[in-house]
Amino acid sequence: MSITAELRKEMKKTTNELSHIEEPAQKQIVYQTKELNLWYGDTHALKDIHLDIYENEITAIIGPSGCGKSTFIKTLNRMVELVPIVKTSGEILYRGRNIFDKTYPVEELRTKVGMVFQKPNPFPKSIYDNIAYGPRIHGIKDRKILDEIVEKSLRNAAIWDEVKDRLKENAYGLSGGQQQRLCIARALAIEPDVILMDEPTSALDPISTLKVEELVQELKEKFSIIIVTHNMQQAARISDKTAFFLNGEVIEYDQTDKIFSTPKDKRTENYITGRFG
């Protein structure tokens, strides 16, 4: 069969088939998207996305700029709805419940699904207050409990030893890498279930990047992590599964080892080997 014919055959496969990965029965699905479509006005940004995202795994989303990967993860906590011209169709089941359901309280969703952004965005407050901010909003006033949460979160984010003696100092005094780990600690403070990360290391130096990568690896024991990254090696190093997005579609979704060694789709191979994007 010619390559073109093979490609055509591959493209004919439903996205449903492409998103299905054989997994042991005990693996829990945390997110399941079904026929997810999203439009920014007339622009069709996400097209028929079917993805099963598993618990206690790191799922990497890769693809060229403008392919819809950031849109996709911002849809998972409905942050994308902050853009007024957004329309969606289809379903996103979080732990079996459709997050687009009108009765689903968005605040509850965002308590369960934390987010870390490309640029570290600490609040202009002390290190302590950055972490205590979320728990306080949730009504925790007891100083002792807050102290425990702050320490636990900073420890989990592997930054406790670096900041324990300066908790009252302004977070802006930290380095970029420290600020990003602080933001991860802030996300952990409300004990989420899932952490969404949108290119969390793209603004960091190589050493800070490796620290965040190590941290992400440790965090998957307790949380499910979905990470958008432009760094192929990062996706290959840290993730369990990888989804390749192109022009708003999921072209291929598989075990990370497979995606980076023997991808099924020529477009995936061309992207990861730097032939486009």
Partner 1 sequence: MTAREFFDEELRGLQDQLSELCHFAQRALDRALEAFETQDIQASQEIIDDDDKADLLYEEIIDNAIMIITKQQPVATDLRKIIMTIRIATDFERVADFAVNIAKSTIRLGKRTDPSMIGVLTNLHRMYEISNQMLIEGLNAFKEEDVKLAKIVAEMDDEVDRLYGETIKELFNIHQKNPDHINYVTQLLFICRYLERTADHITNVAENTVYLVKGKHIDLNE
Select 22 or 276, whichever has its Cβ closest to partner 1: 276
Distance CA 219, CA 195 (A): 9
Least separation in angstroms between CB 268 and partner 1: 8
Note whether 260 binds partner 1 by CB under 8 A. Answer: yes
How many angstroms separate the CA atoms of 104 and 84, rounded? Answer: 19
**Contact flag: residue 233 with partner 1 (CB under 8 A):** yes
* Torsion of Cα atoms, 153 then 77 then 207 then 63, to 10°: 160
Long-range Cβ contact pairs of 215-222 (< 8 A, separation 24 or more): 215/157, 215/158, 215/181, 215/184, 216/58, 217/58, 218/156, 218/158, 219/156, 219/184, 219/188, 219/195, 220/56, 220/57, 220/58, 221/56, 222/56, 222/156
Q: Which one, of 116, 114, 218, 126, lies nearest residue 174 by Cα?
A: 126
Question: HSE (CB half, 13 Å, CA atoms) of 201?
Answer: 21
Between residues 116 and 232, which has the closer beta carbon with respect to partner 1? 232
**Is residue 65 a contact residue for partner 1 (CB under 8 A)?**
no
Q: Write out the binding residues for partner 1, residues 213-232 only, by CB under 8 A.
A: 232
- Residues near partner 1 (CB under 8 A), total: 12
Nearest approach in angstroms of CB 19 to partner 1 is: 21
Tell me: does residue 262 bind partner 1 (CB under 8 A): yes
193 binds partner 1 (CB under 8 A): no
- 248 closest CA partner among 67, 48, 15: 67
Residue 122 found at the interface with partner 1 (CB under 8 A): no
> Does residue 261 bind partner 1 (CB under 8 A)?
yes
Based on the shown chain and the rule CB under 8 A, indicate whether residue 61 belongs to the binding site for partner 1.
no
Selected range binding partner 1 among 35-43, 184-192, 203-211, 262-270, rule: CB under 8 A:
262-270
Considering the rule CB under 8 A, would residue 274 count as an interface residue with partner 1?
yes
User: Which residue among 60, 204, 225, 236 contacts partner 1 (CB under 8 A)?
Assistant: 236
8 binds partner 1 (CB under 8 A): no
Which of 146, 144, 121, 145 has the alpha carbon at shortest distance from 133? 146
Shortest distance, position 2 Cβ to partner 1, whole Å: 15
Binding site for partner 1 (CB under 8 A): 232-233, 236, 260-263, 269, 272-275
